[in-house]
A and B are shown apart, each in its own frame.
Chain A
Amino acid sequence: SYELTQPPSVSVSPGQTARITCSGDALPKQYAYWYQQKPGQAPVLVIYKDSERPTGIPERFSGSSSGTTVTLTISGVQAEDEADFYCQSADSSGNLVIFGGGTKLTVL
């Protein structure tokens, strides 16, 4: 079955840059999307179509794609950015919606 692979955890100090990767064989063909989830809350979309940022999402959030890997970058990390982040995409047929296992971002 198709999988999206994320690192379980990423840690950075405030003001530094956090990069969270997501790998999957179908990513060259399918867009990726990123969601932020804080404890006890519903997920919130932070990046769509690999690199587009929804209205209201801070500019420090950006996305990029290269081959079978997409990356969520958070520049100038703030304490409030501490959360779980999930990538989401589809298999090559487009029939299956898939989430990555999630990455816990810790702000030291």
Chain B
Amino acid sequence: EVQLVESGGGLVQPGGSLRLSCAASGFTFSRSWMHWVRQAPGKGLVWVSRINTDGSTISYADSVKGRFTISRDNAKNTLYLQMNRLRAEDTAVYYCARDKCSSASCYAGGNWFDPWGQGTLVTVSS
């Protein structure tokens, strides 16, 4: 069974840092692009970041660029999101998701998500 399990969420003060992890199982992690998507309480889904199979291609939403860093460890089947200089507006459930894109389409907008993890809640508050 394909499974993604996020961890690392919690309460952090504004300006603080947090590292999220996403443990993958049931598929060949090293062959899949991966993404982080977040959802503020009562709000919609917002894409955060993506990383290709070997970490050589990375993209971020403008709202997190320069503050968040996505990475992966294919030996550990784990995806990470390092979040620095956190703001109140970063408060959200953070989901990791496997990308089902294939080869060239991954670079041309053919990114789609299946499955998603259960999410981990990040709360930024003093």
Q: Which residues of A contact B (CB under 8 A)?
A: 26, 29-31, 33, 35, 37, 42-45, 48-49, 54, 84, 86, 88-102
Contact = CB atoms under 8 A, between A and B. Distances in A.
Contacts of B45: 35, 37, 43, 86, 88, 99, 102
B54 interface: no
Contacts of B50: 97
Interface residues of B, number: 24
B112 A94 contact: no
Contacts, number: 71
Given A98-B47, A99-B47, A102-B44, A43 B109 contact: no
Contacts of B111: 90, 97
Interface stretch (B11-19, B71-79, B81-89, B115-123): B115-123
Contact of A45 (B59, B110, B113, B118): B113
